[in-house]
Amino acid sequence: MKPLALTACTLAAALAPVALTAPLSAQEPEDAVTAIAEQTALEMRADQVVALLNGEIEPEDVLTESFTAQVPPAQLKAISAAWTTQYGKALSVEELPNAGGTRSAIAIRFERAIARGGIAIDAGEDNRISELLIQSFDIVGDTPQKIAADLDALPGEVSYWFGPLEGGDPVLASQPEAQMPLGSTFKLYVLAALAREVADGKRNWNDQVTLGTPRSFPSGMMQDWPEDAPVTLHTLASMMIAISDNTATDQLIGVLGRDAVFETLVNSGHSEPALNDPFLTTREMFLLKSGPAGRLATYQRGDADVRLQVLDGLETFATPASEVEAAFLNGPIALDVEWFASAADLAALMRFMRETADPEAFAIMGINPSMLDSSRTDWAYAGYKGGSEPGVLNLTWLLTDHEGRDHVLVLSWRNDAASLDASALEAIAQRIHALPQ
């Protein structure tokens, strides 16, 4: 499972190949005649940004060579396409307060948002755009109804729920009881099991363990850490949630025990726990899907006892990472060999954790909130875990408003026939984050 870094959060920085070295309000040069010419140049280039974002002109036609060297045209086009997919077509330049200079703040109106940032041109390169930094998006004119329509239009099966954790009508909901594959979001159940044992005094976040073998496969980095490296439970949990480290996850399942994690899933109120019996490690999932077809078929057909027999000793098989990676290159594979929960189950898990988990678990969930900064300030707390594999995507947030009320957002998407465009669901998530509370 690969960790999810929501596209809009990272795209803002991608268009900043050169750090701004002067205040956006700087006026240059002072000569009035030149300033008028530069005003014309900056306004012209700003208007061309609109066309650039819509894919109507080529990046090489308006950007300096140093810009395209650091952000290649293909990357810029991908970024622009992601933005227009999320916010609609770029319409016009809404603000350019320092139009008489070579550098200014800029606001660009999209169909569903206003993008704000900065722009600069280089008079020595025919006034081409040398800097463009989009720092935030302010959502405008969006509604739950529009968002629901866009979710329902995604190919495959979609389940979602967004609303207050402790009662009340959801803002958005469709098939919240449907069991959906989770990808790495299952790691929340591992965190819940650990945090409950810490709260009960059975363990301490500072307890130290050594990294054993075998290791899992990426995502993550701990598969490459030294043998017997000493790490705390807090480090393992943080790596598991913040960067979706699979080796950290399997180490924690080993410490806690497979049965203890499954018991946590049951106790949290999961509506169909048998779907997760036995509770897989990430290495086991990878080896099942990349291994012999007969072994996979036996696991798929078997009950919990047969599945345990298949898993017996499986994690010790020495399988090259290249073979595992190759198995996942051709689209979805055996999506019934996964971890499952409904949106309602994940909301129940959040309630269970609020009641039983040591509070540090929520700090760990908040390390990587996967939200735009402009939306993050709307919430007093944001905790996140997502998960994916070809054909599977889940995004789950626990959000606390400034009045102390918890909300849960769960978005699950499955398509057994094709890989998913993660940016499409991530874009919709950002729109949900920005809805009025």
Q: State residue 210's pLDDT score.
A: 97
Contacts of 380 (CB under 8 A, 6+ apart): 400, 401, 402, 404
Q: State residue 14's pLDDT score.
A: 31
**Percent helix, strand and coil across the chain, each to the nearest 5:** 45, 20, 35
DSSP β-ladder status, 113-122 and 128-139: antiparallel
d(CA 123, CA 351): 58
Q: State residue 260's pLDDT score.
A: 98
Q: State residue 391's pLDDT score.
A: 97
Confidence band of 2 (pLDDT split at 50, 70, 90): very low
Confidence band of 18 (pLDDT split at 50, 70, 90): very low
Q: What is the pLDDT of residues 281-296, one digit of tens each?
A: 999 999 999 999 999 9
Q: What is the pLDDT of residues 43-87, one digit of tens each?
A: 999 999 999 999 999 999 999 999 999 999 999 999 999 888 878
**Residue 222 pLDDT more than 90?**
yes
Nearest CA to 83 among 51, 48, 115? 115
Assign 122 to helix, strand or coil: strand
Report percent pLDDT > 90 for the chain: 79
Q: What is the mean pLDDT of the chain?
A: 89
SS (H, E, C) 312-347: CCHHHCCCCHHHHHHHCCCCCCCCCCCCEECHHHHH
Longest dimension (CA), the chain: 84
**Residue 38 pLDDT more than 80?**
no
Q: State residue 274's pLDDT score.
A: 98
